[in-house]
Structure 1
Amino acid sequence: MNRQYFSFIGVSTLLLVAIYISINTGSIKVSPLELFTGLILGAEGDIEVIKDLRLPRIIISLFAGAALSVSGVLFQAVMRNPLADPSIIGVTSGAGFMSILLVTIFPTLFFYMPLFAFLGGALAFLLVYMFSWKTGLDPLRMILVGVAINAVFSGLSQSFNYRGSYAVTSVSQATTSTLEMKKWSDVEVMVTYGSVGLIIAMFLFAFCNYLAMEDKTAKSLGVRVNQARFIISAVAVLLASVATAIAGMIAFIGLIVPHIGRILVGTDHKKLIPFAALAGAFLMLAADTLGRTMIAPNEIPASILMAVIGGPFLIILIRKSGQLYGN
């Protein structure tokens, strides 16, 4: 209990520190009091620059990291597989592809981009389920099929690079995680859809705990297993899709954070889901802040940093997967 308590305190503290550092990283630096009074009273100058350029980027990073991490927790609960991640099983690439289609064909429907991304993510997840089913769902088969689905949608997205400059701009926004020049309209979309998904996810902890059991055991307790899987999967797809539509394709964050969360706060999803949201927000903001300062004035996308971190982590996790989830 003490470790869980201190884990929440620790990650919350790190998150607040990361927000403060991100706000003051760059040529403009302000104190918390100056920032607060400036935002309330509408001060001009440096505060306006921070408000229009840095704050939207910070807020999107926080919500995207939280959404992808919680999505990873939910997918791992549904599949009973610690290797499940929205990027590995093709959900983010499917969502990114549909986002590209929307922006290219209907550029005025930007606010509805997450809905189209949700359809793309849901399609990818449905394909994974369909092609993985063979007298039951095998966790390893689902991961392998997911990798193939991810490759297909990623290839389709990259094909837009050869369809003109406007499409190239759309592809860059939807397939990379460079968060520069994000606007408050992006924040509105991210916060609106992301908040809905995160709030619903918080109330699904009991279903996630039941799905950790064998299906027969869960059914004997009165749980409608298939219905629970459908609801949890839908929320997970929504979270991954909205993050992809606004922040771009970011791999491994939905894999790393849930695993760390299980080590620090345990497997009870009542604690794991909120911890994953906090830790994911911190990790994403830290990666984005580091990426924009390492080689300033140029930037390294957060997706690249997460790939560098997540690749070795995935290898370690695969090697130890036989000790997880009782496999």
Structure 2
Amino acid sequence: MGKKIVSFGILIALLLVTILYSAATGSIKVGLIELAQGLIWGGNESVEVVRDLRLPRLFVAMLAGAALAVSGVLLQAVMRNPLADAGVIGISSGAGLVSLLMVTIFPALYFWMPLFSFLGGALACFLVYSLSWRSGLSPLRLILVGVAVNATFTGLGQSFNYRGSYAVTSVNQAISSIFTLKTWSDVEIMALYGGIGLVLAMLLGSWCNMLVLQDKTAKSLGIPVTKARLIVSAIAVLLASVATAVGGLIAFVGLLVPHIARLFIGSDHKWLLPFSALGGAWLILAADTLGRTLLAPTEIPASIVMTVIGGPFLIIMLRRSERVHGH
């Protein structure tokens, strides 16, 4: 218990320091005292720019990171596979493709992007389940099918780039993972849908603890396995889809964060879910801040930073899982 509380305390302190650094650093540099005074009393043009441009970006990055990390925890519980992640198995790319397709065809429905993203994510999740199910869930088959589904949806999404349409270009920018020009309305959408998903996820810790067991064992403990799997999957898809609709396509968050979180606080989902939410918020905020400041004024998208970190991490995890299973 003591180690868990200390781990939470360190992570919260790390997140707060990163928030303050991210808010004060950029093309317009503002001291923390000046920032606080400007936010409270107003009348400072630099602080107003920070408030209207940098702070929404900061909140969207944190909320998207929290949503993707918690989505990863839920998917790993449902699929009994530590390699499951919305980005790896195609849920994020499915969400991005359907929202891109619908908004391209019906531009007036731009503000319904979270709904379209959810439908796309649900379609990808259904395809992964149905194509990988063969008298049970095989962790390896599930990942291989997920990678194939992800590649298909990603390829279809990228094919839109070659149509030369301004509308398509602008929508592509909307679902890219550069958090530039995010507004407080984006924060509201992310906070509403993402907040609902996060609260529901926190209430499902005991179900997640049961779902990682074999189905027969979970049923003997009184858990409605099929119903629980559907509900947990739906919440995971909601979180990943909203994060994709507002924050863009970012892979590996749901893979990295839960794995590292288990090293610090164990596998009890009642602790793992809130810790992963904080860890995901910090990771994406740190990735976005790094991408924004490293080669300023040029920006590196958070998705590229995460790919550079996550790719080698996935290889290490695959090698470890092979060693564990003795292959």
Per-residue CA deviation, residues 28-54 of structure 1 (Å, 9 max, x unaligned), is 333444333422333331110101110
Provide the rounded CA distance (Å) in 2 between the counterparts of 1:43 and 1:118. Answer: 41
RMSD: 1.7
In structure 1, the partner of 2:79 is 79
CA-CA distance at 1:151 after TM superposition: 0.8
Report the TM-score, using the length of structure 1 for normalisation: 0.96
The residue type equivalent to 1:117 in the other structure is S
Per-residue CA deviation, residues 157-205 of structure 1 (Å, 9 max, x unaligned), is 111112212202212321x211111112211211111111111111010
Q: For structure 1, which segment, 313-322 or 58-67, has the greater mean C-alpha deviation from structure 2 after superposition?
A: 313-322
Would the aligned equivalents of 1:67 and 1:243 in 2 still touch at CA under 8 Å? yes
Aligned pair 1:173/2:174, yes or no? yes
Provide the rounded CA distance (Å) in 1 between the counterparts of 2:231 and 2:173. Answer: 31
CA-CA distance at 1:323 after TM superposition: 6.7
In structure 2, the partner of 1:43 is 43
Provide the rounded CA distance (Å) in 2 between the counterparts of 1:326 and 1:207. Answer: 30
Would the aligned equivalents of 1:77 and 1:212 in 2 still touch at CA under 8 Å? yes
In structure 2, the partner of 1:301 is 301
Would the aligned equivalents of 1:114 and 1:241 in 2 still touch at CA under 8 Å? yes
Provide the rounded CA distance (Å) in 2 between the counterparts of 1:178 and 1:28. Answer: 18
CA-CA distance at 1:322 after TM superposition: 4.8
Pairing 1:275-290 to 2, within 5 Å after superposition: 275-290=275-290
Provide the rounded CA distance (Å) in 2 between the counterparts of 1:178 and 1:72. Answer: 21
In structure 2, the partner of 1:135 is 135
Pairing 1:1-327 to 2, within 5 Å after superposition: 1-163=1-163, 164-174=165-175, 176-322=176-322
The residue type equivalent to 1:126 in the other structure is F
Residue aligned with 1:108, SS? helix
Provide the rounded CA distance (Å) in 1 between the counterparts of 2:150 and 2:70. Answer: 20
CA-CA distance at 1:111 after TM superposition: 2.6
Provide the rounded CA distance (Å) in 2 between the counterparts of 1:73 and 1:326. Answer: 25
Q: Which ranges of structure 1 fall in alignment gaps of 5 or more residues? A: none
Would the aligned equivalents of 1:82 and 1:321 in 2 still touch at CA under 8 Å? no
CA-CA distance at 1:104 after TM superposition: 1.2
Report the TM-score, using the length of structure 2 for normalisation: 0.96
Would the aligned equivalents of 2:24 and 2:32 in 1 still touch at CA under 8 Å? no
The residue type equivalent to 2:318 in the other structure is I
Q: For structure 1, which segment, 151-160 or 182-191, has the greater mean C-alpha deviation from structure 2 after superposition?
A: 182-191
Per-residue CA deviation, residues 15-35 of structure 1 (Å, 9 max, x unaligned), is 000000101112433344433
Residue aligned with 1:109, SS? helix
Provide the rounded CA distance (Å) in 1 between the counterparts of 2:36 and 2:168. Answer: 39
Change (3 A) 1:295 1:102: same
Provide the rounded CA distance (Å) in 1 between the counterparts of 2:167 and 2:212. Answer: 46
Provide the rounded CA distance (Å) in 1 between the counterparts of 2:159 and 2:191. Answer: 30
Q: Which ranges of structure 2 fall in alignment gaps of 5 or more residues? A: none
The residue type equivalent to 1:147 in the other structure is V
Residue aligned with 1:320, SS? helix
Provide the rounded CA distance (Å) in 1 between the counterparts of 2:325 and 2:82. Answer: 7
Would the aligned equivalents of 1:219 and 1:225 in 2 still touch at CA under 8 Å? yes
Change (3 A) 1:24 1:171: same
Change (3 A) 1:237 1:326: farther
Would the aligned equivalents of 2:24 and 2:35 in 1 still touch at CA under 8 Å? no
Provide the rounded CA distance (Å) in 2 between the counterparts of 1:324 and 1:211. Answer: 21
The residue type equivalent to 1:313 in the other structure is F
Change (3 A) 1:313 1:266: same
Change (3 A) 1:243 1:82: same
Per-residue CA deviation, residues 266-294 of structure 1 (Å, 9 max, x unaligned), is 00000000000001000000000000111
Aligned residues: 326
Residue aligned with 2:92, SS? helix
The residue type equivalent to 1:120 in the other structure is G
CA-CA distance at 1:258 after TM superposition: 0.2
Residue aligned with 2:108, SS? coil
Would the aligned equivalents of 1:190 and 1:243 in 2 still touch at CA under 8 Å? yes
Provide the rounded CA distance (Å) in 2 between the counterparts of 1:240 and 1:325. Answer: 30
Would the aligned equivalents of 1:98 and 1:119 in 2 still touch at CA under 8 Å? yes
Change (3 A) 1:155 1:254: same
Provide the rounded CA distance (Å) in 1 between the counterparts of 2:205 and 2:251. Answer: 24
Would the aligned equivalents of 2:71 and 2:240 in 1 still touch at CA under 8 Å? yes
